[in-house]
Amino acid sequence: EAGVAQSPRYKIIEKRQSVAFWCNPISGHATLYWYQQILGQGPKLLIQFQNNGVVDDSQLPKDRFSAERLKGVDSTLKIQPAKLEDSAVYLCASSSTGRGGELFFGEGSRLTVL
């Protein structure tokens, strides 16, 4: 079974620029999550999709962050404009409600904002 795919793995941008991250979840997984992991901290949920609908985006900074999941499969997370404090690893995860609670994470996209 192929895992969660994310790209790019690394991205360096200047503040006020924009960036987009892509995620392809495990085939058949209805639920997709984007987490932000700042160095030395635990993952923080940004947004959760169930199929192509948003379940929870209460911690998403909506003035600069946006995410979509068209057709209920892959997803894109965008940051525009980026700030220095957005430097972090952006983790995508998916889960199948039929398999209980396990989240399957991708390897993450590391963003550095200069």
Partner 1 sequence: GENVEQHPSTLSVQEGDSAVIKCTYSDSASNYFPWYKQELGKGPQLIIDIRSNVGEKKDQRIAVTLNKTAKHFSLHITETQPEDSAVYFCAASITYNNDMRFGAGTRLTVKP
Least Cα distance to 16 among 65, 60, 76, 79 occurs for: 79
- The backbone torsions φ and ψ at residue 5, rounded to the nearest 5 degrees and listed phi first, read -105, 135
Q: Is 4 in the site for partner 1 (CB under 8 A)?
A: yes
Q: Is 10 in the site for partner 1 (CB under 8 A)?
A: no
Contact 64, 83 (CB under 8 A): yes
Query: CB-wise, 82 or 106, nearer to partner 1?
Result: 106
Site pattern 95..114 for partner 1 (x: CB under 8 A): x-x--xxxx-xxxx------
Q: Is 53 in the site for partner 1 (CB under 8 A)?
A: no
CA distance linking residue 43 with residue 8, whole number of Å: 19
Query: CB-wise, 4 or 82, nearer to partner 1?
Result: 4
